[in-house]
Amino acid sequence: MMDRLPFIAGNWKMNKTVGEALDLVRKLKASISEVEGVEVAVAPSFTALYAVYKELEGTSIHLAAQNLFYEEQGAYTGEVSPMMLKEVGCHYVIIGHSERRQFFGETDETVNRRIKAALGQGLKVIFCMGETLKEREEGKTFSVVGRQIEGGLRRFGEIEIKGIVIAYEPVWAIGTGKTATPDQAEEVHRFIRERLERLYSREIAQGIRIQYGGSVTPENIKGLMSQENIDGALVGGASLKAETFSKIVRFKEM
Ligand code: 13P
Please name every residue paired with 128 in a beta bridge, in sequence order, or none if there are none: 167
Contact 53, 63 (CB under 8 A): yes
8 lines ligand 1 (CB under 6 A): no
The pLDDT of residue 208 is 98
Per-residue pLDDT of 6-25, as tens digits, reads: 999 999 999 999 999 999 99
Please determine, for residue 1, whether its predicted confidence score (pLDDT) is greater than 60: no
DSSP string, the chain: ------EEEEE--S---HHHHHHHHHHHHHHHTT--S-EEEEE--GGGHHHHHHHHTTSSPEEEES---SSSSSS-TT---HHHHHHTT-SEEEES-HHHHHHS---HHHHHHHHHHHHHTT-EEEEEE---HHHHHTT-HHHHHHHHHHHHTTT--HHHHTTEEEEE--GGGTTSS-PPPHHHHHHHHHHHHHHHHHHS-HHHHHHS-EEEESS--TTTHHHHHTSTT--EEEESGGGSSHHHHHHHHTGGG-
Helix (H/G/I), strand (E/B), else coil: 114 = helix
Residue of minimum CA distance from atom 1 in ligand 1: 236
The pLDDT of residue 33 is 86
Across the range 156-179, mean pLDDT stands at 95
With the most atoms of ligand 1 within 8 angstroms of its CB, the residue from 169, 217, 221, 245 to mutate is 169
Per-residue pLDDT of 174-226, as tens digits, reads: 999 888 999 999 999 999 999 999 999 999 999 999 999 999 999 999 999 99
With the most atoms of ligand 1 within 8 angstroms of its CB, the residue from 174, 211, 248 to mutate is 174
Residues with catalytic function:
97, 169
Residue of minimum CA distance from atom 9 in ligand 1: 236
Per-residue pLDDT of 81-139, as tens digits, reads: 999 999 999 999 999 999 999 999 999 999 999 999 999 999 999 999 999 999 999 99
> Ligand 1 centre from 74 Cα, in Å?
32
Across the range 160-167, mean pLDDT stands at 97
> Ligand 1 centre from 245 Cα, in Å?
12
pTM over 0.85: yes
